A and B are shown apart, each in its own frame.
Chain A
Amino acid sequence: MTSQPCPDLELLFTELEAGEGPALDHAAECEACSAVLEEHRLMEQDLYRLADPLPPPTLVASVMARVAAEPVPQRREVWSGVAILLTSLVGGLGYLLMNDQALGHLGTSIASVMVEGPQFVDGVLSGAHALWATAGLAVACFLTFLLLTSLYGLKRLAGGIPTPSEA
């Protein structure tokens, strides 16, 4: 029998789960705590032997009958996406039409693209031409790498998409 006071049960069981601790050391020498642990062990033994009951034999059939009346989950996802996209578009357009300042900004931006766009494209093209003339091989390798990784990525993404017959 140990001279230490018996530990709190919660502490004792926490240490029992952990497998070590002062409360567990105390229990090894204390008859009262050992009895509690033994009682606990027997109850756990009985509890572990309980099993879930078998479900009704008609459960799977009932679920599948209700599932048959439901739309395919992936189509549901597509429709959710389309609904979100349309709502965002309508919201954005509504904001533009209701707000003169936003509409003015949009008009200015479009006009700016129309005026400065060709100059920008010319600049990009002449830059690309100069790059090709000075480091053609490196650019070709880089573009090939970019193309292949993009195709690989697309192929991986397409792996989860159903074929038309499956959809």
Chain B
Amino acid sequence: MAEEAPPLPWKADVQAARRGDPSAFESLVRSVQRPVYGLALRLLQREAEAAEVAQEALLRAYQNLHRYDDSRPFDLWVLAITRNLCLDLLRRRTKVKTEELEPMKEVLPSGDASQEDCAIATQERQSLEEAMATLSAEDREVLALYYVQKRTTKEIAQVMGCAPGTIMARLFRAREKLRKKMTPTEEAPR
């Protein structure tokens, strides 16, 4: 897993953005837009909604910049806002059938296709994405944060507002569900 980031690299931009410097906030937006949009898309599974939520989360971050404790990682704070907005939207989305969802293979293209294609077959990646798409939002988010965004359990706990031990358990359950989806016929009782 990735080690702790260098201390407070976002602090200067946050302070400048608080004073109303738009270029400083733009720099912050650029640094977090990909994980923010990525998490929103994993949770919502719809490009248009994910873009909308990512935009709203970044705007709320600006509106609440005076409340942000800049001793904590800025990206985790924005991810927590994004997560809350996504969960609100998912709660409102009660009558949507699974088959109406866009397939993940079209929705989630590789961010770094050339490297990935060398390392893993496209078909396998698609199967994995499709299997992930069938998991619950809770399982998808923990897998996405841990494996895709390479966050530590401590960081994920900050985003999700729970103890790191809880994240370990959730991660285990999500991984097991994914493993069963990937190999449904080979599963033997233990």
Interface residues in chain A, defined as those with a beta carbon under 8 Å from any beta carbon in chain B: 6, 8-10, 13-14, 17, 32, 39-40, 43-44, 46-56, 59-60, 62-64, 66-68, 70, 72-77, 80, 160, 162, 166-167
Contacts and interface: CB of A to CB of B under 8 A. Distances in A.
B37 A49 contact: no
Interface residues of B, number: 59
Contacts of A63: 29, 55, 58-59, 62
Interface string B35-62: 1111101000001000100110011001
Nearest to A78: B66
A160 B18 CA distance: 10
Given A48-B147, A60-B29, A54 B111 contact: yes
A64 B26 CA distance: 7
Nearest to A66: B59
Contacts of A162: 19-20
Contacts of A160: 15
Given A39-B179, A55-B34, A167-B20, A6 B190 contact: yes
Given A48-B147, A50-B147, A73-B63, A167 B33 contact: no
Given A46-B124, A63-B58, A67-B59, A52 B38 contact: yes
A76 B63 contact: yes
A14 B168 contact: yes
Nearest to A5: B190
A8 B51 CA distance: 41
B54 A59 contact: yes
Given A55-B36, A73-B17, 14 more contacts: A9-B190, A44-B175, A51-B112, A53-B38, A55-B34, A55-B51, A56-B47, A59-B33, A60-B30, A63-B59, A67-B62, A72-B18, A73-B20, A73-B62
Interface in B137-184: 143-144, 147-150, 168-169, 172, 175-176, 178-179, 182-183
A75 B62 CA distance: 12
A53 B51 contact: no
16 contacts: A9-B176, A9-B190, A13-B175, A43-B182, A46-B124, A47-B178, A51-B111, A52-B148, A59-B29, A59-B54, A66-B55, A66-B59, A70-B62, A73-B62, A74-B19, A75-B20
A74 B20 contact: yes
Given A70-B59, A70-B63, A10 B172 contact: yes
Contact of B19 (A49, A54, A59, A72): A72
A36 B159 CA distance: 30
B51 A59 contact: yes
B108 interface: yes
B105 to A, nearest CB: 12
Contacts of A17: 168
B30 A49 contact: no
A145 B59 CA distance: 46
A67 B128 CA distance: 37
A53 B108 contact: yes
A59 B78 CA distance: 15
Interface string B10-36: 000001011111100110011001111
